[in-house]
Amino acid sequence: MSARGVEDARARGKTVLVLHGPNLNLLGRREPDVYGPLTLDQINERLHALAAELGVELEIFQSNVEGELVDRIQEAADVTHAIVINPAAYTHTSVAIRDAIVAVGLPVIEVHLSNVHRREEFRHRSLISDVAVGQITGFGADSYLLGLRAAVRVIANSRSRSLKTRRPLKARRPA
């Protein structure tokens, strides 16, 4: 096993939640020149294959409804170790998703299929980026796979603390 593989092994058995925001259920037929040819099911299959390879449990959820994404983030608090999220259009508008991320204090990787910084100006602003560990944008479906690898690395490198005793992000920051 490579040195990196040994490092990542510390994440074995841990759970990663992948969240897909609005309109991503249309992938495959939605602006394929921008978002690529793969359907959401095909992307999810690749994610499951990579999760099996890396030895992590994977949960995947898509919704077109902001509140359902907020609910799913809240529910993840005690059972998930990291979140990979493509908030889609809510990236640029959702204080509610941002607040939920801060409230649960889980490490979040923000991903986008397209390079949002090469597109319309309103897509350059993300309400999520500064409460995420990082952003992966512009690699098509590979953004999700890179996001999952990043989540595994973050879990492997975090001190093993019980999810129940984890404090939200805000409480850990100096005033």
Q: Is 112 in the site for ligand DQA (CB under 6 A)?
A: yes
One of 16, 58, 106, 113 touching ligand DQA (CB under 6 A) = 113
Site for ligand DQA in 14-33 (CB under 6 A): 23
Is 92 noted as a catalytic residue in this protein? no
Name which of 15 and 114 has its Cβ closer to ligand DQA.
114
Is 35 noted as a catalytic residue in this protein? yes
Measure the CA–CA gap between 46 and 15, rounded to whole angstroms. 16
Residue environment code for 133-163, b if the CB has 16+ CB neighbours within 10 A, otherwise e: bebbbbbbbebbbbbbbbbbbbbbeeeeeeb
Q: Is 88 in the site for ligand DQA (CB under 6 A)?
A: yes
Measure the CA–CA gap between 146 and 163, rounded to whole angstroms. 24
Which residues carry out catalysis?
35, 112
Please report, as ranges, the residues that interact with ligand DQA according to CB under 6 A: 23, 86, 88-89, 91, 112-114, 116, 123
